[in-house]
Amino acid sequence: MGGHSSVDCCENQPQRTQRYTEEEGVRVRAADRLSAFFPFSTLPSSPSSSVPSVSSVVSHTPPPPPTSTAARANRRGITLLEVLICTFVLSIGLLGLAALIPVGRLAIVQTAIADRSGACGRAALREIKIRQMLEPDRWLHFNGPRVLDDGFPVAPFVIDPLFLGNYGSSGSAPPHFGNTAGAQSVLRFTLDCPGISPSVPMSYALAERIFRWRDDLEFDNKDPDRRPVGTNPDGSPGYKGDYSWFITVSPAPAEATLPNAIQKRRYLVSAVVCFKRDLTVDESNMAVAEHTAGATFLGMGYGGGSVEIAPGEWRTPPPERIRDNQWIMICGGGHALWYRVISVSEGSEVENKSTFLTLAGPDWSEDTSNVVQAIFIDGVVGVYTTTIERQ
């Protein structure tokens, strides 16, 4: 009986081995299927390990499907067209940034000119008071005679020793201010030499020291101490000399009705600051940097208003261009006032292309129906006006 049992065991051994092999294959195939959807850490470490339970498999968050080599090869990259578009957009931005560089540089230069002209104008008003330039005894014609010998001036006039000193005392008479002529001429006077002689006109060298601003020093940017470049013959620091000034004098509106000119003691005085002013005179004895035209107010002249300059009203060659923020002097009726140009426009062909100017400044108190003189001086960058009473 015992031998029968051993024979049965031997006969069942191949069946058990085959069953074990089939079960092992099932486990292996199941593990392969699970490996496509779950981390390898959840799989059995060996074929002999037990298959994980359903609860343990569900408890793990499935990772994204693995990327195969074919999927990576089919992934879309940046094309050449996209690169070109990006380069084009970037170029537009860089060009816009580059265009701001000269605009910013121009704004810096204009700001520096405005700042220095303000300092020069304030210094000029102090010089007028300290040096008593409004004393009539000091006013001289270009060749020496006193202005009071011809009577007290009742019309606006200009004190411009720098221009007259550069012109000299020989030859013909220098041009009037703005190259004006006739009854509406604006006379140009100089000053005497204090401490020398009351009848000697101020020399050009002395006018340079007084009427040319000496505080625009020129510095060496490479010098760490930022010292002025060079020195003048008198030992003072070197300066550029780009800023100069002259004076326009007009009786104050409050004293316009006084019958006697000598009774007028209050003056509307303007220190006119110029940047790189041209003092030359051409062959026809006309100041090349001064232009005059007849103008007509289009309104009542409140706050400046608007004026029209017809093409035939130019009494000198017109300036190359009338710009915004340019300064002009309006003369007429015994007054001379400075205005700043706000805008410039030209008429149509029907209007024969008259020039229309919008001005900002004081009210024009004279009759606006009369033709006035508009005087343009090249290089004027600032006008500083005050009322000064003669001592």
Q: What angle do CA 76, 77, 82 make, to 5 degrees?
A: 120
Helix residue ranges per DSSP H, the chain: 2-35, 54-58, 69-73, 80-130, 161-167, 204-211
- Of 147-156, 168-177, 225-234, 242-251, the least confident: 225-234
In eight-state DSSP terms, residue 287 is B
Q: What is the mean pLDDT of the chain?
A: 79
Element (H, E) at 197: strand 197-201
pLDDT-derived band at 297 (thresholds 50, 70, 90) equals very high
pLDDT-derived band at 273 (thresholds 50, 70, 90) equals very high
Domain ranges of the chain: 1-37, 104-389
Q: What is the pLDDT of residue 339?
A: 96
**Chain-centre distance for alpha carbon 79:** 44
Mean pLDDT of 325-336: 89
Structure tokens at 189: 């006077």
Cα–Cα distance, 122 to 114 (Å, whole number):
12
Please tell me which residue, 246 or 197, carries the higher pLDDT value: 246
Whole-structure pTM value: 0.72
Q: What is the pLDDT of residue 194?
A: 75
Residues contacting 301, CB < 8 A, separation 6+: 363, 364, 365, 366, 368
pLDDT digit string, tens, across residues 200-234: 889 898 999 899 998 888 777 677 766 667 666 66
Q: Please name which of 187, 147, 203, 142 lies closest in space to residue 169, comparing C-alpha atoms.
A: 142
Write down the residue that tokens 């339970």 correspond to.
53
Q: What angle do CA 155, 156, 161 make, to 5 degrees?
A: 125
Mean pLDDT of 81-91: 92
Cα–Cα distance, 312 to 322 (Å, whole number):
17
- Of 42-56, 81-95, 351-365, the least confident: 42-56
Mean pLDDT of 338-351: 78
Q: Give CA separation, 294 vs 303, 331, 374, in Å.
A: 20, 10, 6
pLDDT digit string, tens, across residues 47-76: 444 445 544 444 455 555 555 555 555 666
Q: What is the pLDDT of residue 32?
A: 66
